[in-house]
């Protein structure tokens, strides 16, 4: 199999000059932003962002959107790749999910975490969530999922209705208030 090296160069670029990819599908909740700020404060940059050069000479991000957002005034390491628009879209689609398919050796992770110290609350919360808890409360959605499948944590309320009409009234009321609802009949 021929494997091409698509990296043209490593540049240091002011993060605010990097153009976000218009098809970036990742969102970044506050906990992730705070944990990243903690890592950057305690360690700094130890990984490069990935971008491609557009015809006008600007750089369009493929990976590293959040890092660029939280450090807009910093010069950041950027791997410039020679991908066309379709290849960049493909990498954007699979880069993070591919990394998410890795399995964890829980004993090795536990030993590693025993050596890691942080004074940052958000980073500590991230570290605390890496090992499954042994609370005896049954399988979480993540533990019940097949290996490599990430199931988002959901918080729901189930309301028992008098009848179908009552169910419809509540559904209409809650959706009008902007709540995401589903009808369920058992």
C-alpha distance from residue 63 to each of 1, 69, 85, 113, 179 (Å): 25, 12, 14, 26, 32
Give residue 138's pLDDT: 47
What global pTM score does this model have?
Answer: 0.69
CATH number at residue 43: 3.90.1530.10
Residue 125 in any domain: the answer is no
Q: 167 or 138: whose pLDDT is higher?
A: 167
Residue 25 has pLDDT above 80, yes or no: yes
Looking at the structure, do residues 14 and 87 belong to the same domain, yes or no? yes
- Structural domain for 163, as ranges: 154-186
pLDDT tens across 52-111, in order?
A: 999 999 999 999 999 999 999 999 999 999 999 999 999 999 998 888 888 888 899 999
**Residues whose CB falls within 8 Å of the CB of residue 13, separated by 6 or more in sequence, listed in order:** 51, 59, 75, 76, 78
Residue 118 in any domain: the answer is no
Residue 140 has pLDDT above 90, yes or no: no
């Amino acid at each position: 199999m021929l494997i091409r090296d698509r990296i043209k160069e490593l540049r240091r670029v002011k993060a605010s000059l990097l153009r976000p990819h218009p098809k970036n599908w990742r969102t970044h909740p506050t906990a992730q932003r705070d944990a990243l700020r903690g890592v950057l404060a305690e360690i700094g940059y130890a990984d490069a962002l990935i971008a491609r050069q557009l015809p006008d000479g600007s750089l369009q991000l493929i990976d590293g959107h959040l890092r660029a957002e939280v450090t807009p005034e910093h010069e950041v390491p950027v791997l410039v790749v020679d991908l066309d628009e379709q290849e960049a879209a493909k990498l954007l689609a699979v880069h993070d999910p591919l990394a998410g398919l890795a399995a964890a050796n829980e004993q090795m992770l536990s030993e590693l975490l025993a050596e890691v110290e942080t004074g940052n609350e958000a980073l500590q919360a991230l570290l605390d969530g890496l090992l499954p808890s042994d609370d005896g409360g049954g399988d979480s959605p993540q533990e019940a999922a097949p290996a490599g499948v990430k199931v988002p944590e959901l918080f729901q309320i189930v309301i028992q209705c008098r009848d179908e009409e009552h169910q419809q009234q509540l559904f209409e009321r809650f959706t009008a208030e902007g709540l995401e609802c589903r009808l369920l009949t058992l």
